[in-house]
Amino acid sequence: MQQKTKKKWTGDAVLIFFLKNRAFLLVILFFILLMLSTDTFLTGSNLMSLARQIAANGIIGVGYTFLLASDSVDLSAGYMMCMIGIISGLLSQTSLPFVAILLICIVIAMFCSSMNAVIENRFNLPPFLVTLAMQQVFRGVLMLLSNGSPISNLNEGIIFMGQGYIGPIPFSVLLMVVFIVAGHILFSRTQFGRNVIAVGGNPDAARVSGIHVERTRVYVSALLGFTIAIMALVSCGRVASAQTTLGGDTVMDIIAAVVIGGTPMGGGSGTVGGTLFGCLVIGLISNGLNLLKVSSYWQMVSKGVIILVAVVLDVYSERIYERMRNKE
């Protein structure tokens, strides 16, 4: 009897280990594959480019971790990021200091993102539909503001956010580390983080326990807006211009990274640290396909497959956990 129990526990433990640590294991796998398949992967310039790419995604990934954990989604973030980038470009043409530009961009992004949640709460609409509609609104606004043209001559502070260094380390990477650490503490060590998980797991039970569900969702959306603003300035600074297409298609990559990292689409749990490894997975795949000179069209196909696999793993993990809970 003891031997049978031990065998069952060992099998479940191995399965749970792979499911919970899939992002970390995938990072190791892709790192080894790229190291063996190309001579340029481990070069300093490529690793620095990879770090900057991961940094931008990691910052907004923190916001999306909270959002998905609360059982919500935002499809408008990519074009909101483009819009904030254009606004930062227009403000750069004035005499405003960098701090003022930064604060204005943060306030606008937090307001726009919060309004998504307010509309969802007020009219009891699915986040998918609201943010899909707002995606087109933000896209139209950014085109009106820029007349469809990129804006150069950005403020030096914005350039520094994307290209600057503190010692040998890119500033954007240090910024990402700050967001990851702060996000982890906020998510796992505070009452707000517990409220987010409760709202995502069972909003009715959360409401009965005294949690203001609608207000929590607005706060989560505001947090996402804050990360969108920072990512927008980092991304614009990296290419030294505000472009109408910069970040428009990043939403699916970020969602895939967060889900691969262990935050389920259905909410109720999550991990900011896992999101970092999820961003590493997406970054390694994109970087590897570029190094191997894979067609950009095939890269789109591969990313679509990755998103599908991430969702399947998410659903499969939940079924495994539910089965194990029933056995107990």
pLDDT digit string (tens) for 229-238? 999 999 999 9
Tokens linked to 153:
């001559």
Average pLDDT of the segment spanning 294-319: 79
- Which spans in the chain are helix H? 2-20, 22-37, 44-69, 77-92, 98-123, 127-146, 156-163, 171-189, 191-201, 203-208, 213-239, 251-260, 272-291, 296-327
DSSP character at residue 234: H
Q: Is residue 17 part of a domain?
A: no
Name the amino acid, one letter, at 190: T
pLDDT in tens, 81-130: 999 999 999 999 999 999 999 999 999 999 999 999 999 999 999 999 99
pLDDT in tens, 18-73: 777 788 888 999 999 999 999 899 998 899 889 988 998 999 999 999 999 999 99
pLDDT in tens, 278-306: 999 999 988 998 998 888 888 888 878 87
135, pLDDT greater than 50: yes
Name the amino acid, one letter, at 227: T
- Taking Cα atoms as reference points, which of 129, 130, 26, 135 lies closest to residue 78? 135
Residue 184: count other Cβ atoms within 10 Å of its Cβ. 18
Residue 166's contacts (CB-CB under 8 Å, 6 or more residues apart) are 174
Q: Is residue 27 part of a domain?
A: no
pTM for the model stands at 0.91
The residue range of the domain holding 62 is 41-248+263-270
Q: Is residue 102 part of a domain?
A: yes
Tokens linked to 226:
């804050």
- Taking Cα atoms as reference points, which of 54, 90, 60 lies closest to residue 229? 60
Q: Is residue 75 part of a domain?
A: yes
Q: Is residue 282 part of a domain?
A: no
Number of independent structural domains in the chain = 1
| Whether 326 contacts 12, CB under 8 Å | no
Name the amino acid, one letter, at 189: R
Q: Is residue 296 part of a domain?
A: no
- Taking Cα atoms as reference points, which of 140, 136, 132 lies closest to residue 86? 140
Q: Is residue 157 part of a domain?
A: yes
Distance of alpha carbon 260 from the chain centroid: 11
pLDDT band at residue 312, thresholds of 50, 70 and 90?
Answer: confident
12, pLDDT greater than 80: no
> What are the φ/ψ torsions at residue 150 (nearest 5 degrees)?
-70, 160
**Range scoring the smallest mean pLDDT among 11-25, 207-221, 239-253:** 11-25
H-helix or E-strand spanning residue 170: strand 169-170
Q: Is residue 16 part of a domain?
A: no
- pLDDT score recorded for residue 311: 75
